[in-house]
Chains A and B, each alone.
Chain A
Amino acid sequence: MRILIAEDEPALADQISGALRSEGRVVDIAADGENAAHLGATEPYDLVILDLGLPKRDGLSILKEWRAQSLAMPVLILTARDGWSERVDGLDAGADDYMAKPFQMPELLARVRALIRRRTGQINPLFRIGDFSFDTRNARAMRNGLPIELTQQETAVLSYLIHNAGRYVSRTELSEHIYAYDDERDSNTIAVFVARLRKKLGGEIIDSARGKGYAIHSA
């Protein structure tokens, strides 16, 4: 799951990205409005955390522009503007959720999870097939109640497949959602990650089909 944080305060952006990465998310940071508008319009994010008071461009106008371009990714507004008018304006502009600063990090993470789940149609935060389970709240994979150690990339691939369970995901799509903007991308490495995951989780969890990609079928 790849998330864009549009936030001009570097310390806060670092804190949020750190918290999100610890949940297995891939994070890009845009420190100003122009950059945020460009990234949001060109990269396939699974969620955007948008500050309204950004330098160069106001967050609300960016959001309206995205929605006008039919970009439908969930957007959570995180702003110091806590007036009720601004909340309504934000939601009317197409935001999916609105949080005022200062905020509690656990609440932000919970709302991010809820938005991603709502988006992918999953109701239960705990994904289960047989004795394998994946908790989307902390990106932990378990088998028979025992944790499975995964690398950050492996977690990212697994998490994306689980959030899109029941559907084949191409290597290209996977690479777009598990690499941050600045990462070196190589769709061949996806095959390597999947192979490692199969070894750790057992071969039956991830299905593959020639020309279609990979899929995890829900139980």
Chain B
Amino acid sequence: MMRSLRIRAIVGGVLLSAFVVCLGSITLYLSLDRIARARFDETLANRHARLVVALFDVGPDPEQLAQRLADPAYQQPYSGRYWQLIGPDASVLTSPSMFDFTLPDPVTKATTGPTLDFVTTSAGELRSMAMPVTLDDGKVWQVMLAESIARLEVERGLIRRSLGMTFATLVLGGLIGSILHVATVLRPIERLRQDILRRWENSETLLPRDYPSEVAPLVEDINALISRNREIIERSRRQGADLAHALKTPSAVLRNELESAGLSGPGLVRARDALDRIDAQVKRSLARIRAGNVGSAFQAPTQIFAVFKRLGRLFQGVPGNERFEFQLKVDPTMTVAVDRQDLEEIVGNLLDNAYKWAERRVTARAEQVDAEVIIHIEDDGPGIPEDLRAAALRSGERLDTSRPGSGLGLAIVCDLVDAYGGRVLLEKSETLGGLRVSLFLPRTYRPQAVHQSGSAAGK
């Protein structure tokens, strides 16, 4: 089953043009061949007529006939042109060119008209013409003229070859024609694809009247689908935001009341701890809800460079972060099939960690490997010991409480990356000595993102 419209149309076009050209060539060949044979026979008949005239003039005398016909081909053995006379007494006179053979006597089918025949002799295949001629003395001579068909075969070969060339040229022309034709016909579909991507990024609407009438209904369907898709995503995001607001604001109120209630000692610590756990759980759950929405939605490509630029501006703008050197090595055109907000959430959490732990340097770079984009974020901080890396990705528990934060960053990153069918790898940074986080993300949209835990801690 050919899944490509292009291949289907090209193969169809080539087959059709081959069939048509083939049919035409055969018809043409048959008619040209018939013409060639007729012309050959006509020449044969002309020579035969001259032989008959010569015979009437000089009588059955080979030498005088040769003089009279004045054609050296009759003199030269095996020249391909021969005459033969069979007398009433069955005596046979031949041209000198008939060195050692004679033509069979066609007298059995004696008629008044000429008899045409093919004969095989030691000089090869010949075309012969025979006609009984009554001379002035009343004797009947069988006058025969034969010609090698080699010349005819050459001519027929020429016809075949030139027809073959024409055939090949026409089929090639058909192939090129169908490629151009298909490209023209398919252009609206290709444009549609680009338009869909652009539309997704810029929230535009596709105008069905910009497309051919066959594609227009499809455009309307796509419009409806994109709108629906966007609605679903936006609604779930909004629900997430509403839920966040509904949970976090009371939590903030509670925390403030707790701090100002004048509690002290273990009671305050326990209450604070409980609130911290609630907040962390809310944050993690909201992140999971967000990650859960990923697989169902179409993903337009996101420029990695732009995301790093935006977040880099944010982190470098934080007072105190001026001392860090942030190095970004990403091709500005490189894209990844991850929603921009999700990619910013992933990268934001990783940069947040990097800035939290780095001494002075944070680097980010991206490379393309087959169908994946790998983003590396490295710092020159203390890193994470090998035996704790797996736990850092999975549990969402804080490994070190000496720096502020929920300790959920890596776990949230993991949830999101998993949702896109990617994976996260933690390693020691070879260049900076701290932590290196590598994200493996799909380069192009995969309709069914694999929902499985693909993340692992490396060495």
Q: Which A residues are closer than 8 A to B by beta carbons?
A: 9, 11-12, 15, 19, 53, 79-85, 87-88, 91-92, 100-105, 114
Q: B80: CB under 8 A from chain A?
A: no
Question: Contact at A104–B253, with CB atoms within 8 Å?
Answer: no
B6-47 interface mask toward A, CB cutoff 8 Å, 1 = contact, 0 = none? 000000000000000000000000000000000000000000
Which one of A91, A92, A102, A114 contacts B252 once the chains associate, using CB atoms below 8 Å? A102
Task: Take A83-B344, A104-B255 as given contacts and tell me if A88 and B248 are in contact as well, using a CB distance cutoff of 8 Å.
Answer: no
Chain A hits for B313, CB < 8 A: 88, 91
B257 surroundings in chain A (CB, below 8 A): 15
Instruction: Give Cα A101 to B347, complex, Å.
Output: 21
Q: A81, B345: Cβ atoms under 8 Å?
A: no
- B314 in contact with A84 (CB, 8 Å): yes
Enumerate the 7 nearest inter-chain pairs by beta-carbon distance, A residue then B residue, closest first. A84-B348, A80-B248, A102-B252, A80-B245, A101-B248, A85-B344, A85-B341
User: Which residues of A are found within 8 Å of B253, using beta-carbon distances?
Assistant: 9, 11-12, 15
Nearest-Cβ distance from residue B135 to partner chain A, whole angstroms: 115
Residues of A contacting B209 in the complex (Cβ-Cβ under 8 angstroms): none
CB pair A84–B345 under 8 Å, yes or no, is: yes
What are 6 residue pairs bridging A and B, where the CB atoms are less than 8 Å apart in the complex? A15-B253, A85-B345, A102-B252, A102-B255, A104-B259, A105-B255
**Please, which residue of chain A has its CB at the minimum distance from the CB of B259?**
A105
Chain B residues within 8 Å of A81, by CB: 241, 244-245
- Whether, in the assembled complex, B256 has its beta carbon less than 8 Å from a beta carbon of chain A, the answer is yes
Min distance, Cβ A70 to any Cβ of chain B, angstroms = 21
Interface SS of chain B: helix, strand, loop or mixed? helix
Q: Does B453 contact A (CB under 8 A)?
A: no
Pick the most buried of B252, B253, B257, B352: most chain A CB atoms within 10 A of its CB. Answer: B252
Q: Which residue of chain A has the shortest Cβ distance to B351 in the bound complex?
A: A84
Assess A88 versus B344: contact at CB under 8 Å? Given A53-B245, A80-B241, A81-B241: yes
Given the complex of chains A and B, what is the CA–CA distance between A105 and B314 in angstroms?
23
Contact among A53, A88, A100 for B311, CB-based, below 8 A: A88
CA distance A92 to B279 in the complex (A): 27
Q: What residues on A are CB-neighbors of B279 within 8 Å? A: 102
- B317 is an interface residue with CB less than 8 A from chain A: yes
State in angstroms the CA–CA spacing of A64 and B413 once bound together.
30
Option from B242, B259, B260, B314 in Cβ contact (under 8 Å) with A91: B314
Q: Which of B196-252 touch A at CB < 8 Å?
A: 241-242, 244-245, 247-252
Contacts of B311 in A (CB 8 A): 84, 88
Query: A103 touching B310 by the CB < 8 A rule?
Result: no
* Shortest Cβ gap from A50 to chain B (Å): 14
Chain B interface residue bracket vs A: 20 to 34
Taking CB atoms, residues of chain A closer than 8 Å to B283 are 82
B256-A84 in contact (CB<8A): no
Cβ B345 vs Cβ A105 within 8 A = no
With A and B bound together, what is the CA distance between A87 and B347 in angstroms? 13
- Apart from A15-B257, A82-B248, A83-B344, 8 more pairs, CB < 8 Å: A12-B256, A83-B345, A84-B349, A85-B340, A88-B344, A102-B255, A102-B275, A104-B259
What is the minimal beta-carbon distance from B204 to any residue of chain A, in angstroms? Answer: 21
Contact of B252 with A12 in the complex, beta carbons under 8 Å: yes
Question: CB-CB < 8 A to B317: which residues of A?
Answer: 91
| Measured CA separation A92–B344 after assembly (Å) | 14
Collect the chain A residues with CB atoms within 8 Å of residue B247's CB: 80
Q: Which of B256, B257, B340, B341 has the most chain A CB atoms closer than 10 A to its own CB?
A: B256
In the docked arrangement, what's the CA distance between A82 and B280, Å? 12
In the bound complex, residues from chain B placing their C-beta under 8 Å from that of A82 are: 244, 248, 283
Instruction: Name B341's closest neighbour in chain A (CB-CB).
Output: A85
Enumerate chain A residues within 8 angstroms of B348, measured Cβ to Cβ: 83-85, 87
Closest A residue, CB atoms, query B310: A88
| Most chain B beta carbons < 10 A, residue from A81, A83, A84, A85 | A84
CB B375 to nearest CB in A, in angstroms, measures 15
For B249, the chain A residues whose CB sits under 8 A away are 9, 12, 80, 101
Residues in B whose Cβ lies below 8 Å from that of A101: 248-249, 251-252
Could you tell me the distance in whole angstroms from the C-beta of B417 to the nearest C-beta in chain A? 15
CB-based contact A15/B256 at 8 Å: yes
What's the minimum C-beta distance from A104 to chain B, rounded to whole angstroms? 7
Question: How far apart are A13's CB and chain B's nearest CB, in angstroms?
Answer: 10
Do A80 and B310 touch (CB < 8 A)? no
Q: Which residue of chain B has its CB nearest to the CB of A98?
A: B314
- Which residue of chain B lies nearest to A100 when distances are taken between CB atoms in the complex? B248
Picked from B252, B314, B344, B352, the residue with its CB within 8 Å of the CB of A103 is B252
Question: Considering the chains assembled together, what is the distance between the CA atoms of A102 and B244 in angstroms?
Answer: 10
CB neighbours (8 Å) of A88 from chain B are 310-311, 313-314, 344
Q: Please, what's the 1-or-0 string for B374-397, where 1 marks a CB less than 8 Å from any CB in chain A?
A: 000000000000000000000000
A59 to B241, CA, bound (A): 14
Chain A positions within 8 Å of B310 at CB level:
88, 92
Q: Considering residues B249, B317, B319, which has the most beta carbons from chain A within 10 angstroms of its beta carbon?
A: B249
Residues of B253-297 whose CB lies within 8 A of A: 253, 255-257, 259-260, 275, 279, 283
Q: What 1/0 mask marks residues of chain B from 319 to 358 whose CB sits below 8 Å from any chain A CB?
A: 1000000000000000000001100110111001000000
The docked-state distance in angstroms from the alpha carbon of A131 to that of B341 is 54
Residues of A within 8 A of B251 (CB): 101-102
A101 to B241, alpha carbons, bound, how many Å?
12
Residue in chain B with minimal CB distance to A87: B314
Measured CA separation A110–B124 after assembly (Å): 116
Give the residue name and chain of the A residue nearest to B344 (CB).
A85
Which residues of chain B are near A92, meaning CB under 8 Å? 310
User: Cα distance A15–B317 when bound, in Å?
Assistant: 29
Map CB proximity to A onto B72-87 as digits: 1 under 8 Å, 0 otherwise: 0000000000000000
Shortest CB-to-CB span from A205 to chain B, Å, is 31
| B residues less than 8 Å from A15 (CB atoms) | 253, 256-257, 260
User: How far, in whole Å, are A91 and B345 apart by their CA atoms in the complex?
Assistant: 16
Query: What is the minimal beta-carbon distance from B226 to any residue of chain A, in angstroms?
Result: 21
